Amino acid sequence: MRHTLPLAPQFYVTAPQPCPYLDGRMERKLFTALQGDNAQKLNDSLSRQGFRRSQNVLYRPSCTECSACLSARIDVARFTPTRSQKRVQRRNQHLSRGSSSPWASDDQYALFREYLDARHADGGMADMDVFEFASMIEETPVRSRIIEYTDDFDGTLSAVSLTDVIEDGVSMVYSFFNPDLEKDSPGTFMILDHIAIARELGLPYVYLGYWVPGSQKMGYKARFSGLEVYYDGKWKPVADPKSFSNDLHPLSNDPIAEQVANIHLPDRRPTKR
């Protein structure tokens, strides 16, 4: 199925497939290609409307009877770490951050494989080889960085985040870590450090991807204060995570044509570099 807007990118819909977050449900995505001189502006604009980037594609959920997947971000000005999060920061203070252009390395891929084999052995990325991994890291038409966290004691690579820098924040596209360090909560630490990065850059938000009420895989995101979700075309603060439901409903989402018509697109003039 294809839908277009005048002078705008073409939007497509994926075929339904099993949902990776909620058992017994089917997911479907609305997506568009991210390319050309306007790629950065398009990424900036659609990120503010609940879209996520994967290589040269921007997408967001568009399921027929379910609207449980909510794009989530942290309002940096409203974030205050909990006592538990402060302990995570202390446990990981021996990790040093380094930032570089998005180039894949053998060390990154080795860590990525350890992470997948331990935590997502049956997931969609389980069979990703080194060339596909390199594509995931390097195929980006926007301002992206690789954030590496290395151990001060032995110099080993402990965690990695592929991060986009957008107009109003930093977006954590994909992150992974040494599964042997899970007790120190390196995933939480990376989010906390990205809050610090956003503050250093003077940017108001950290984009986290999708939060799914009722999904254990996504539950950790609701533990951050200042959390907002994109719901009914607006970003709304999450005062009580339990107030959000993942119930099925036949009128959960607008028809695809209406969704596309309501997407706000950036000025078509190329971004200056």
Quick: pLDDT tens for 212-263: 887 777 888 999 999 999 988 899 999 888 888 777 776 667 788 888 888 8
- 270: pLDDT confidence band, cut at 50, 70 and 90? low
Contact 134, 55 (CB under 8 A): no
pLDDT, tens digit (0-9, with 9 covering 90-100), for 94-137? 999 999 999 999 999 999 999 999 876 566 677 889 999 999 99
**Alpha-carbon distance 71 to 229, whole Å?**
5
55: left (phi over 0), alpha (psi -120 to 50) or beta: left
Q: Tell me if residue 116 falls in helix, strand or coil.
A: helix
Domains and CATH numbers, the chain: 2-68+246-261 (no CATH), 73-243 (3.40.630.30)
Q: Which helix (H) or strand (E) holds 225?
A: none
pLDDT at 5 > cutoff 50: no
Mean pLDDT of the chain: 90
**Confidence check: pLDDT of 189 > 90:** yes
DSSP 217: G
For the beta carbon of residue 247, count every other beta carbon within 10 angstroms: 11
pTM above 0.85, yes or no: yes
Q: What's the confidence (pLDDT) of residue 6?
A: 42
User: Of 104, 191, 179, 182, nearest to 146 (Cα)?
Assistant: 104
Residue 144 scores a pLDDT above 60: yes
Quick one: which of 186, 120, 121, 193 has its CA closest to 163? 193
Instruction: Calculate ∠ Cα 167-174-29, nearest 5°.
Output: 80
Question: CA 263, CA 30: separation in Å to the nearest integer?
Answer: 11
In angstroms, the CA 237 to CA 74 distance is 9
Return the minimum-mean-pLDDT range out of 33-42, 181-190, 199-208. 33-42
For residue range 6-30, list pLDDT tens digits in order.
Answer: 446 899 999 999 988 888 889 999 9
**pLDDT recorded at residue 123:** 64
Confidence at residue 273, expressed as pLDDT on a 0 to 100 scale: 47
- The model's confidence at residue 35, banded by pLDDT at 50, 70 and 90, is confident
Residue identified by tokens 């820098």 is 165
The per-residue pLDDT for 250 is 67
Q: How long is the chain?
A: 273
Amino acid at residue number 125: M
